[in-house]
Chains A and B, each alone.
Chain A
Amino acid sequence: MKTETKKIVAKTGNEAAAYAMKQINPDVVAAYPITPSTEIIQIFSKYVADGEVDTEFIPVESEHSAISVCIGASTGGARVMTATSSQGLALMHEILYIASSFRLPIVMIVGNRALSGPINIHCDHSDTMGSRDSGWIQIYCENANEVYHTIINAVKISEKVNLPCMVMMDGFIVTHGMENVLILEDEEVREFLGKREPLYSILDLKNPITVGPLALYDYYMEHKRSQVDAILKSKKIISDVFEEYNRKFGLSIPSFIEEYFLDDAEIAVIAMSSASGTLKEAVDLLREKGERVGILRLKITRPFPYEILRKKLENLKVVGVMDRAETFSTMGGPVSIEVKAALYSLIKRPLIQSFVFGLGGREFSLEDAIKVFDILKKINKENKLEEEFIYIGLRE
C-alpha cells in the first residue's frame, strides 16, 4: 500500500470518470454525446488529442453505433469503454442484450437521466432501470469519488466474468457537482488491471470463429441459462475485486451495499445513488433524537443482492424503498418491487413501503427525507401499510 502517493483532487463526477478512463487507457472508446454525460467524452477526447492515452477514439454517428462499435472492438480482444445517458441508452437497448450474450467485457458509464417524454435532461433512474434485464452488471454510485474507484473496479470485474458492466451516477447532481476525489497513480491503476485476457477473439485468424449465430428453440434457452451462470459467478468476483482493491489501496469502497446505522435500526430506508446522502443526513438528525433509523444503500442491482438484503432486513419492522423511476405497474418503483420479491421468502419480514421521488430531477430535500421517515414511523406505529406507493415531492 502506497498511501503516501494518494492525492485528493476536486473533480466533478464527469471529470472523475474521464480521469479514470485516462488512467485505464482503454484500447477503444466509441461514444455519442448526450447530456449530462457528454463531458466525459469531451474530456476524454482531449486526452486523445493530446496523446495522453493510446486509445482509438471512434466518434460515431449514434449511440446505437457506439455500442455496436464497442461490441466489434471487444470481440477483437480490445479493452473497451463508452458513456451515455437516457435516450442514448434507450437507443442502445437492442444491442445491450447482444453484448451480454456475447459475454463481452464493456464498461459503460451512465449519467442517469429521465427518459422522454416530456423531454427532460435531469436525473432519474428510468433509463438504466429500463435496461436492468439486459444481462449487464449494474452499479450505482453515490458520489464522484465512488464513480472514479468503481469504474476501475468495473473494468476488472467485467473482464473477469466476461460480462458488460454499467457504472451509474446521478445526472447533474453527481455528473456536474464538484467533490473531493481521492485518486491513484496511473501505474497503480494499470498494474491493478493488468492486460485483458479475452475468452475469444475474432481477430484470431488461426482459429476462425462464428460470433452471433442463429439459435432457435433447440439452443436459445441453453444460451440464456449459461448467461445466468456467468451472472451468478459474478457475485463472488464482484466482492473479491472490490476487496482486493480496498486492501491494496487502503480504501473502503463498498461493493453491493453500504450500511448506515443499520445494525440496531428498527426502521430503514433503501436508497440508491446521491439521494442516500440526503437520507443519511436525515438519519443523523433523527439519531440525535434517539430514533432507531438507518439506511441501506443499494449499490449493485444486477446481480440483485437478495441474499444480503434478506440478512440485513430480516429483523427490521418497516422498510421504505426509494425509487427514482416508475414502472407503471401501479405497484410503485422497480427497486421496491424487487425488494419485496427478495424478502417474500422470509418467515418474518418487514412491512415495505414504496416511495417514488425525484423524477426528472425533482429536488429531494432534507425535509423530504425527514417526511419519508415520518411516514415509516407512522406505519410502524399502526403496523399497517395504507398506500401501495407514495410520491414524495409532488406538486400539490
Chain B
Amino acid sequence: MKKILSLKELSERNTGLTSGHRACSGCAFPSIIKMVVASSDYPVVISNATGCLEVVSTIYPYSAWNVPWIHVAFENAAAVISGVESAYKVLKKKGLIPENEKINFIVIGGDGGTYDIGLQALSGAIERGHNFLYVLYDNQAYMNTGVQRSSATPFGANTTTSPVGKKMPGKIQHRKDIIEIIAAHEIPYVAQASPSHFGDLIKKVRRAFEIEGPKFIAVISPCVPGWGYNESETVELARLAVETCFWPLYEIDQGVYRVNYKPKEKLPVKEWLLKQDRFSHLKNREDLIEEIQKKVDEKWERLLRLDGQKIF
C-alpha cells in the first residue's frame, strides 16, 4: 500500500482543475476532481463526458484544465479513453513514448453519462480491460440541461421530468445501483465515496491507481440548484448522505466487500431528505419517507452482511 498523503502534501500538488472554471458556487465536483487528480503520483490524461463539468471548465477560448483533457460526446467517454490508452500502449511498444513514462488515465462522467446513455460504452471498456479509473460524480440528475431525472435520481425527487404533480409525488422509481452493475463485471476495484469523507476518498483513488485495469469510483456530488439548499452546505449534505446510510462508503477490492465507514449512530434518512427542496413535498408524506427509509435500511443491512465477503 502506498504512503498516505497528508492534506499539506496534497495541497502542494497539481489538482488538474485550476481557478477560472464556472461551476456554480457550492458545486461539489471541483473539489472532487481536485482530490482525484492530486491523488495521482503520475501525470494524468482525462476523458470527460458531456455535462456540467465539461461545460463549466472549457468555454472556448479558455480552459480550466492544466492536464491533457478530452471531451468528445455524452455517451462515449469510456470509449474515448479506450482509444487514448490504446494509442499510449502501442506508441510505447513502438518506442515513440519513453518506456519509463507512466500515465494514469481518468474518465469523468456525470450520472446521466454513466448510468444511462454512457453505460454501454462504459461496460464495453471495462469488459475489454482497459487501464483507467472511471470517476462518477453523482449529482443524481441531468443538471446541465436543467435538472431532468436520471436513473440515479432517488425515489420521490422532484425534477423537471419527474415533477411533483396532482398524481405523481416526484420520481416513482428507485435508483439504479451502479456499483453492483459495475461490480458484476468482476473488475478489480469498485468503490463509493463522498467529498465529506475526503480521507477515505483519497485513499480509494490512490488504491485504484495502484491497480492495472479498469477501476470505478462513484462519488456523491451535491448540486445547489438541482437539490435546492444553501451553497454553504454542500459538504454537510454529502456528509448527511453518508451518516444516514443513503450513500454508504464501501469498496469491492479484488472481489472483497468492505464497508469503510459505519456511522456511530445511523441517522434517519429524513434528515438528509428534508434539507433539500427537491424533497420538500415529502414533508407531509410520511408514507413515502418510510418507503425511502425501508430501501435504505435494506441496502445497508445487505452491505453489512456482505462486508468481508468475497463475491468473485
Which A residues form the contact surface with B (CB < 8 A)? 27-28, 30, 54-56, 58-62, 64-65, 68-78, 80, 94-95, 98, 202-205, 208-216, 219
Residues of the B chain whose Cβ atoms lie less than 8 Å from the Cβ of A55: 90
Least CB distance from A359 to B in Å reads 31
Partner of A203, one of B60, B63, B68, B128: B68
Which chain B residues numbered 41 to 60 have a C-beta less than 8 Å away from chain A?
A: 43, 45, 47, 54-55, 58-60
- Residue B20 lies at the interface, judged by CB distance under 8 Å to chain A: no
- Per the bound structure, the CA–CA distance linking A211 and B72 in Å amounts to 8
Inter-chain contact A98/B65, CB cutoff 8 Å: no
Partner of B87, one of A27, A59, A212, A219: A27
- Residue B140 lies at the interface, judged by CB distance under 8 Å to chain A: no
List the A residue with the shortest CB-CB distance to B74.
A94
Task: Encode B227-259 as 1/0 by CB contact (under 8 A) with A.
Answer: 000000000000000000000000000000000
Residues of the B chain whose Cβ atoms lie less than 8 Å from the Cβ of A76: 83-84, 86-88, 91
- Per the bound structure, the CA–CA distance linking A204 and B71 in Å amounts to 16
List the B residue with the shortest CB-CB distance to A200.
B68
Of B118-126, B168-176, B207-215, B274-282, the segment with at least 4 beta carbons within 8 Å of chain A is B118-126
Inter-chain contact A54/B59, CB cutoff 8 Å: no
Inter-chain contact A65/B88, CB cutoff 8 Å: no
Inter-chain contact B79/A65, CB cutoff 8 Å: yes
- Per the bound structure, the CA–CA distance linking A205 and B91 in Å amounts to 14
Inter-chain contact B59/A77, CB cutoff 8 Å: no
- Residue B69 lies at the interface, judged by CB distance under 8 Å to chain A: yes
What is the interface size of chain B, counting residues whose CB is below 8 A from a CB of the partner?
47
- Residue B89 lies at the interface, judged by CB distance under 8 Å to chain A: yes
List the A residue with the shortest CB-CB distance to B128.
A58
- Residue B304 lies at the interface, judged by CB distance under 8 Å to chain A: no
Residues of the A chain whose Cβ atoms lie less than 8 Å from the Cβ of B288: none
Which B residues form the contact surface with A (CB < 8 A)? 43, 45, 47, 54-55, 58-61, 63, 65-73, 75-76, 79-91, 93-94, 96-97, 101, 103, 120-121, 123-125, 127-128
Least CB distance from B128 to A in Å reads 7
Inter-chain contact A64/B75, CB cutoff 8 Å: yes
With A95-B73, A203-B68 known to touch, is A72 a contact of B63 (CB < 8 Å)? Answer: no
Least CB distance from B67 to A in Å reads 5
Least CB distance from B57 to A in Å reads 8
- Per the bound structure, the CA–CA distance linking A109 and B123 in Å amounts to 26
Inter-chain contact B59/A208, CB cutoff 8 Å: no
Residues of the A chain whose Cβ atoms lie less than 8 Å from the Cβ of B83: 28, 30, 58, 68-76, 80
Residues of the B chain whose Cβ atoms lie less than 8 Å from the Cβ of A219: 60-61
Partner of B94, one of A54, A74, A209: A54
- Per the bound structure, the CA–CA distance linking A230 and B59 in Å amounts to 24
Inter-chain contact B91/A75, CB cutoff 8 Å: no
A-B contact pairs, 21 of them (CB 8 A): A28-B86, A28-B90, A56-B89, A58-B83, A60-B82, A62-B124, A65-B82, A65-B121, A65-B125, A68-B121, A73-B83, A73-B87, A74-B83, A203-B84, A208-B65, A208-B69, A210-B58, A212-B70, A213-B59, A214-B58, A214-B59
Inter-chain contact B84/A72, CB cutoff 8 Å: yes
Least CB distance from A144 to B in Å reads 28
Least CB distance from B134 to A in Å reads 14
